[in-house]
Structure 1
Amino acid sequence: MSQELDTAISSPTAQPYIPEPHDRRNPNAWDALYVDQAIPVDPISKGYMIRDLRNWTRSYLLVPIALIANLLLAIIMTVKRLLPFQFSNYTLMHQSAAWFLNTFVSPEACYLIVRHICLGSNIVNFLIDNGPDPAIEKSQLYPRTVGNLAENAFLEHDLILYNFVLDYSKAQREKPHWIEPVKERGLNFDSIKSVQVDIDFKKRRWLRILDLESAIELFKVFYSLCLTSDEFERAVLSLEFDENFGCYISALTGDYNWNHVITNRHPLAPESPFGAARNLLLHGIISEYLHRYLELRKEMAQTVSDR
């Protein structure tokens, strides 16, 4: 990891974030956060994360945006619960999301959103490859552009997660001793692969300014409007399955030492939907942690096999 980070820092074309010269009397907090390797993260993604965190909209617009968004969310949730019928419009939701991202959201945030969907597919497919039933349907959801998200990507992302958990749990009950042969043969890391994301960072229109968390705060309002109450509740609850997925991975690797980085926990004590934007931001970061952990395990396994 150290050599990989040093290469990224020394090559401006390979890394979107270049630390400033170290001033010992005035050290840069963001540079320290970027170069710190206590929790391994893909260097390219981490660079975009730092740039997103430094976005001026996060400092000046996030708080008022969150206040307005939560007020609108409260109104929508109350009205939809009181209505004698429920309605949803997935096509409108996803097409609006793609338009919103392409029009108002920074390229860095767009990159992280598209990449997150792909990482989720890699992690689910890894668990299937090494699970009690390799015949469980694997994820084929690998968007490359913001435009690809208009094809029901967010809904499919949630459905893939829930269907996997239900199928995986059923297979575990049917094969209670499944993990012993998996550990004997060794883990299959074929599904932990690099993902391709095509975002144009050169063309920066003046409206494409929003940071990731501000964008999520705004879009969660429209998300709640375009889903039924139960579907929105399901989407919010999915964020707390991070702890479950961490335990799935640790059961396979026998390593629980890294699980402290998972902060979205306890799905039996659901968080309020008003904190969904913050939890979704954490969900994205935790997915990056988990995927990088598996990449490093894959590298270790390849090193051992090459000896």
Structure 2
Amino acid sequence: MSEPSVWGSILADPTLPFDRPTLRQVVADQRRWSRRWLYPLARVVSRIGVVLILVMKRLMPFAPRLRAHAAMDRMCVWFVRRCVAPESAGLLLRHFVIETNLLNFVVRNAGLPGMPEVTLLPTALRQLGDRAVIEHDLNVYEVLAALGSGVRDRPLWARAASELDYSMLTVPQLDLEPATRRWLRLDIQTALCLMNIPFALCLTPREYRRAVHSLRLDESLLAILATLTGDATFRSWRPAGTLVRVDSAVDVPRAVYEHAVICEQAHAHLLTCQSLAAPIMDLGTWSGRKSVPNPMID
């Protein structure tokens, strides 16, 4: 009897709430040569480079006000198009769509009037240059702020499965430019390490700290999803650390990667909830009866 492989075990694990084609891409991405040989070095270079940049900005009085968003966007797009494997770039592009879907699920199902939906939905690599990175971080803060203002007058309630709107949980066709000539075909984790350096350089310390802290807001997003659906499973994926501690001295590339995995799991679990709710929705339509929502008590 042959010994099971790590990759085969991951792909066969029935408990992983993951879109299966995407999970196969994640496994293939981790098996790239760059993930094995370059990632350990890139991780160290990224940490040292970012620390030096942040220290320099603290010591130079004018540095905290310097920003170069347009340059950061151009570097990001160029690097992803020329140095990252198309399939790996697809995982990055897909994450922007997945997180927007999660936020819009909250917006539509929170039942708070006047909450604007998130419009960030890049479907091509070149669209990452349209302030996508910055907007991606701001969207989470804005949705949570709008919820915080609205729930004072109208607390969030668990809603019946048949009353939840899942219609936004679709992923459009993504243009990964497979025909574009690439100098390298890096995996996504190595790419995140290298991209972290220009992010720290082109953002102000305040912007960089805000971007890093947005990764910890997954805890809030998961709690809201658990409340709206009445499913505590979402809370089990909460990231490590505490939400009220602001700290930019973390392993940012790793935190970004784990953030993307959490979003994928939440998205896949919502689709599972939708499929399980379909028979209930049909029965509710046939009988004409509606469930009465109950408040979630932590």
TM superposition score normalised by structure 1? 0.86
> 2:205 matched to 1:229?
yes
Q: Work out whether 1:218 is the aligned partner of 2:194.
A: yes
Distance 1:38 1:218 in 2: 32
Question: How far apart, in 2, do the equivalents of 1:136 and 1:154 lie?
Answer: 22
Q: Conserved in 1, the CA contact under 8 Å of 2:84 and 2:185?
A: yes
Equivalent of residue 275 in structure 1, options 245, 248, 251? 251
Contact 2:125 2:177 (C-alpha < 8 Å) held by counterparts: no
How far apart are 1:207 and its partner, in Å? 2.3
Would the aligned equivalents of 1:242 and 1:264 in 2 still touch at CA under 8 Å? no
> Residue 162 of structure 1 aligns with which residue?
141
Counterpart selection for 2:78 from 63, 75, 99: 99
| 1:194 positional shift | 2.9
The reply to whether residue 179 of structure 1 matches residue 161 of structure 2 is no
1:69 aligns with 2:36: no
Equivalent pair of 1:73/1:224 in contact (CA under 8 Å):
yes
The within-5 A match list for 1:3-42 is: 24-42=1-19
Q: Distance in 2 between the 1:205 and 1:42 partners? A: 29
Q: From 102, 105, 114, give the equivalent of 2:93.
A: 114
Give yes or no for contact 2:7–2:27 (8 Å, CA) kept in 1: yes
Worse overlay, 269-278 or 53-62: 269-278
The Cα shift of 1:287 comes to 0.5
Deviations 1:126-178 (A, max 9, x none): 101111414211111111111110111011111111111111111011223x5
Q: Which runs of 5+ in 2 are unaligned?
A: 284-298
Q: What is the SS of the residue equivalent to 1:208?
A: coil
Residue of structure 1 in register with 2:170 after alignment: 193
Q: Secondary structure at the match of 2:94?
A: helix
5 Å-filtered alignment, 1:255-274, equals 255-274=231-250
Q: Which has the higher contact order (CA 8 A, sep 6+)?
A: 2
Provide closer, same or farther for how the CA distance between residues 184 and 119 of structure 1 changes in structure 2, counting only shifts above 3 A: closer
Q: How does 1:48-63 map to 2 (within 5 A)?
A: 48-63=25-40
| Amino acid corresponding to residue 34 of structure 1 in structure 2 | L
RMSD: 1.9
**Aligned-residue offset at 1:205:** 4.4
Aligned match of 1:238: 214
Secondary structure of the corresponding residue to residue 233 of structure 2: coil
CA distance in 2, matches of 1:141, 1:251: 25
CA contact (8 A) 1:104 1:207 kept: yes
| Identical residues among aligned pairs (%) | 26
Question: Residue 143 of structure 1: which of 94, 97, 122 is its match?
Answer: 122
Equivalent residues of 1:95, 1:150 under 8 A apart: yes
SS class of match (1:116) = helix
